[in-house]
Amino acid sequence: MIPTPSPATGIEQDSAPAPAATAPNGLTLPGRHFRLTAVHLQDGSDLADGLVQERVWLLHPNEPLRLRGNLFCIEALDIDRQTLFILPEPLPHARPNPVEADLCTTLSRSRDLQVELSDGPWVLLECAGGAPARARALQDWQRSQRPATPGHRLPAFLSNTWGDRSRDSRMNQAFMEAEIEAAARLGVDGVQLDDGWQKGITSNSVRAAEGGVWEGFWNADPDFWSPHPERFPNGLEPLAALAREKGLRIGLWFAPDSWNEFVHWQRDADVLLDLHRRLDVCNVKIDGIKIHTETALANLRKLIARVLEGSEGRVVFDLDVTAETRPGPFGLISCGPLFIENRYTDWVSYWPHHTLRTLWQLTRWVDPLRLRMEFLNPERNTGLYGDDPLAPAAYGADMLFATVMAANPLGWFEVTGLSDTFTHALHGLVTVWKEHRARMADCTVLPVGDCPDGFNFSGFLFVPREADASAYLLLFRGNTPDPEGRMTLPVPLPGRWSRLAGEGSLETNERELRFTIPAPRRYLFACSRLKPLQP
């Protein structure tokens, strides 16, 4: 038998002209030389740690692309312009109706790039070339999607006892009163009562065997979202009053009922608005969400919109994206920060340099004001880490706060469990951060140095948008023997800087930065004056 020949792949043929884009979302970008970056974002950090992956192509006529995703950057290199393509929907794996490709490109052999987009509410941002212009465009647009209220424009430091793994076993009035007292001394803006403040029992409760549920809350108990009558016999009013007296607020954990496509979204919204109006609850962590249909996603968005409108934008939601099927980084931009991670020293899953790495990588594309990043009590479970030089206990309290203070910091611990030494060291930096956070929040934030790995130099540069405003540098030294670091920065910097916290010194000459941080696993926080970024 004569074998069937394999199909030939190397026979050259004359190229046919590239077809013009015919899709309703088709467009043409002028130019000849293009670089495309596809940003693969991932949530579900309970089972993942690398949440940002970037793939880069120098586009070529021989290689048309069909890509899935929510965020793409196409740079026209010959004219120094770039276009950002944003799809404000859940990530591809979490969409009720996924498509084969979200963005397709075909580069003409003569000139211009044809781009076709999937159906959807695409947002296109155009700006000059380079990382600074891209960061400003992305961050400005994301901030414009949120209410123009202080709660959504100013980063807040919250505490939440769940990180110490007592779950709801200690949740009661006396314990939370002590937490509020301790949080006030530390400088916390709000104390979140996590799962357990309510009468109903969830699957995460220490009492889950008594009938805990993770959806169908209204079916399980019509009074599910009333304060627990034994833990809080006088309701939550005394806690709210104590918090106001101490200069902070209480926040709450809440799980919108996913049952039957969020059919009870209006009841959930009414509960949250009642808590806001009676108790001044402004920070709400939402969890337990499961989105499997377009109707479910639409109803969840209605819930968020109703609460934001009813509270005149004063309620800020922390959207937990650590598990389940949830809206992800771009599916519910208006609601508030993304609750990125559940990390615990009890499970040896918390390393400060990993959290810093996640924040550094996300900041390239996601506005850090939209991120809630946690740090833990390093004095717990020290034996579980052995002699690991990057164990949480190897870092000072202020260093742990510094790793997340470019975002919205979360003290993922029982404040009453912190030692006096830890509290004193942490309070000092919190005070400095509060003095400068409003000006920092008006800046474009750029990650600088190397991507953190625990053994290198990295940091963040805060570039003001207005003339004669403060610029900031937050620099980190990993577990390296060399105290001196150098970086080439994305924008020119002035030569004189004032150290605000941490240790060491720095000097700049245009884009060259030289600095010294005397000890490993420490930081340097400084400010100066810098011309604003140009649009």
Cβ proximity of 67 and 38 under 8 Å: yes
pLDDT tens digits along 16-41: 443 433 335 899 999 999 999 999 99
What's the Cα-to-Cα distance from 404 to each of 353, 359, 375, 398, rounded to whole Å? 10, 7, 7, 10
pLDDT confidence bin for 13, thresholds 50/70/90: low
Closest residue by Cα to residue 300 from 511, 96, 17: 96
Q: Is residue 143 in some structural domain?
A: no
User: Could you tell me if 311 and 210 lie in one domain?
Assistant: yes
- How far from each other are the two terminal CA atoms of the chain, in whole angstroms? 70
| pLDDT of 263 strictly over 60 | yes
Q: How many domains does the chain have?
A: 3
What pLDDT score was predicted for residue 17? 41
Q: For 521-528, what is the mean pLDDT? A: 96
- β-strand 123-128 against 249-254: which pairing, if any? unpaired
User: Could you tell me if 258 and 407 lie in one domain?
Assistant: yes
Which residue is associated with the tokens 């020119």?
492
Q: For 74-90, what is the mean pLDDT? A: 97
430 CB-near residues (< 8 Å, 6+ apart): 157, 186, 187, 188, 401
Joined together, the tokens standing for residue 345 give 């020293």
What pLDDT score was predicted for residue 23? 39
Cβ proximity of 485 and 457 under 8 Å: yes
What pLDDT score was predicted for residue 14? 53
Closest residue by Cα to residue 284 from 246, 241, 321, 255: 255
Domain boundary among 403, 431, 459: 431
| pLDDT of 250 strictly over 90 | yes
User: Could you tell me if 213 and 103 lie in one domain?
Assistant: no
pLDDT tens digits along 207-237: 999 999 999 999 999 999 999 999 999 999 9
Cβ proximity of 113 and 59 under 8 Å: yes
DSSP letter for 62, please: T
Q: Is residue 439 in some structural domain?
A: no
Joined together, the tokens standing for residue 327 give 């809206």
Alpha helices in 32-172 (DSSP H): 131-144, 150-153
User: Could you tell me if 421 and 481 lie in one domain?
Assistant: no
User: Could you tell me if 264 and 371 lie in one domain?
Assistant: yes
Q: Rounded CA gap, 201 and 220, in Å?
A: 9
Cβ proximity of 319 and 339 under 8 Å: yes
User: Could you tell me if 199 and 334 lie in one domain?
Assistant: yes
Joined together, the tokens standing for residue 322 give 């650590």
User: Could you tell me if 358 and 313 lie in one domain?
Assistant: yes
Q: For 186-209, what is the mean pLDDT? A: 98
* One-letter amino acid of 297: L
Q: Rounded CA gap, 20 and 40, in Å?
A: 27
* One-letter amino acid of 519: A
What pLDDT score was predicted for residue 12? 57
User: Could you tell me if 251 and 381 lie in one domain?
Assistant: yes
What's the Cα-to-Cα distance from 446 to each of 53, 94, 337, 358, 449, rounded to whole Å? 17, 29, 18, 14, 10
What pLDDT score was predicted for residue 465? 84
User: Could you tell me if 394 and 344 lie in one domain?
Assistant: yes
What pLDDT score was predicted for residue 469? 83
CB atoms within 10 A of CB 432: 16
pLDDT tens digits along 368-414: 999 999 999 999 999 999 999 999 999 999 999 999 999 999 999 99
Closest residue by Cα to residue 55 from 64, 41, 43: 41
- β-strand 469-477 against 522-530: which pairing, if any? antiparallel
User: Could you tell me if 278 and 359 lie in one domain?
Assistant: yes
Q: Rounded CA gap, 274 and 280, in Å?
A: 9
Q: Is residue 436 in some structural domain?
A: no
Which residue is associated with the tokens 């930096």?
429
Residues of the domain holding 83: 27-129
pLDDT tens digits along 310-351: 999 999 999 999 999 999 999 999 999 999 999 999 999 999
What's the Cα-to-Cα distance from 288 to each of 136, 295, 372, rounded to whole Å? 33, 17, 17
Q: Is residue 270 in some structural domain?
A: yes
User: Could you tell me if 293 and 162 lie in one domain?
Assistant: yes
Q: Which range among 60-74, 98-112, 158-172 shows the weakest confidence by mean pLDDT?
A: 98-112
pLDDT confidence bin for 534, thresholds 50/70/90: very low
User: Could you tell me if 45 and 159 lie in one domain?
Assistant: no
Domain boundary among 129, 161, 180: 129
Q: Is residue 166 in some structural domain?
A: yes
User: Which one is predicted more confidently, 468 or 132?
Assistant: 132
Q: Is residue 134 in some structural domain?
A: no
Domain of residue 333, CATH code: 3.20.20.70
pLDDT tens digits along 407-427: 999 999 999 999 999 999 999
Helix, strand, or coil (residue 428) = helix
Domain boundary among 96, 129, 162: 129
Q: Is residue 440 in some structural domain?
A: no
Q: Is residue 437 in some structural domain?
A: no
Q: For 201-207, what is the mean pLDDT? A: 97
* Category of 398 on φ-ψ map: left (φ > 0), alpha (ψ -120 to 50) or beta: alpha
CB atoms within 10 A of CB 277: 11
What pLDDT score was predicted for residue 11? 57
State the DSSP string of 238-279.
HHHHHHHHTT-EEEEEE----HHHHTTHHHHHHHHHHHHHHH
Mean pLDDT of the chain: 94
